[in-house]
Structure 1
């Protein structure tokens, strides 16, 4: 089985604006910080959200499903914040704005992002979601590089290959820096921005 559940389509239609589901996801994020993924139980999430364990199962079939939905919500926010910035016509402004949006979300939800990365190899639903999100960012980075004059293509010196390397470099750099301090996160962001600018040929 690929992790799909028969109720998922129904639940997906209810998600927007559903206060109870939002409370479940908010509680899950709080418990990740307090207990960690392994120690967190479905009963803990239900209690924190003010519902019964049975009521929680109406929305989600397992702890993994709750975390996957939390990751989905978080990366959607990341993509919405970064997408508009990356589509800015002027490449230098696009890079600066995209990095600023990225650091904002890592500062707010770094724990969720790290949990997604940690679980992406063992929880297929999270792995697929994280991979899809990375593909969106790789395409956005590629478009910025091409607007800056980097030739299109998959060769090492061309935009698609560079975009893939930049995306995964940014992910890993933010992963480590977000565990340290806000200052380290700022430094990591500045370094990634400089490397992206250099790759795009935009440094003086």
Structure 2
């Protein structure tokens, strides 16, 4: 996870440091909802986490680093919850489970994920995290398509290219739906799931 880790000489306080880092990230997520990324300051984050501004710099060097660490924590949860996409033998089950768990994460952390998308082009660290996460999902979607009988390869009608298009379609659809309501997220999920199943030839 991005950020400055406590020095080895501070092993005795490592647990306390972990709790403080969690408090910093939790505060950052709350402030994104209250103020937004641009208005939020390092001082705001430190105050919300119950520490002095100078103490925050022991963990993170800037507001961008705090947000990057928050994004890293969130995408780790996203991938862990959706890992079954790459593991389930039944493609239909894999698609349904992946979409359900993606809805859960967007409901819980949609603001963080929208912030990651918004900053991915201007903050390299966040851009790399988000791109790496997309690659993991593209690989997982590719595996599902291939298990469903889609030909492997990178041609437009083959699994890898189709998976890439599906991944970015899902991201953009959820991005917009998450700004509306939980009901819109469910509708978006059902639509994306249907398109994924059509692409895999699993609607018959």
TM-score, shorter chain, exceeding 0.5? yes
Q: Distance in 1 between matches of 2:66 and 2:140?
A: 28
Name the structure 2 match of 1:137. Answer: 137
Question: Does residue 111 of the first structure (1) align with residue 108 of the second (2)?
Answer: no
Name the structure 2 match of 1:62. Answer: 62
TM-score by length of 1: 0.93
TM-score by length of 2: 0.93
Over 3 Å counting, the alpha-carbon distance change for 1:77 and 1:60 in structure 2 is: same
Q: Distance in 2 between matches of 1:53 and 1:119?
A: 24
Name the structure 2 match of 1:35. Answer: 35
Q: Distance in 2 between matches of 1:154 and 1:10?
A: 46
Contiguous gaps of at least 5 residues in structure 1? none
Q: Distance in 2 between matches of 1:20 and 1:161?
A: 43
Name the structure 1 match of 2:176. Answer: 176
Q: Distance in 2 between matches of 1:98 and 1:87?
A: 11
Name the structure 2 match of 1:18. Answer: 18
Kindly provide the CA deviation profile for residues 155-191 of structure 1, in whole angstroms up to 9, marking residues without a partner as x: 0000000000000000000000000011111000000
CA contact under 8 A between 2:146 and 2:152: conserved in structure 1? yes
Q: Secondary structure at the match of 2:57?
A: helix
CA contact under 8 A between 1:86 and 1:98: conserved in structure 2? no
Contiguous gaps of at least 5 residues in structure 2? none
- Which stretches of structure 1, 4 residues or longer, exceed 3 Å deviation after superposition? 7-11
CA RMSD, 1 decimal: 1.9
Q: Distance in 1 between matches of 2:165 and 2:84?
A: 21
Q: Give 1:83-162 correspondences, 5 Å limit.
A: 83-162=83-162
Name the structure 2 match of 1:186. Answer: 186
* CA-CA distance at 1:10 after TM superposition: 6.0
More moved, 108-117 vs 85-94: 85-94
* CA-CA distance at 1:18 after TM superposition: 1.1
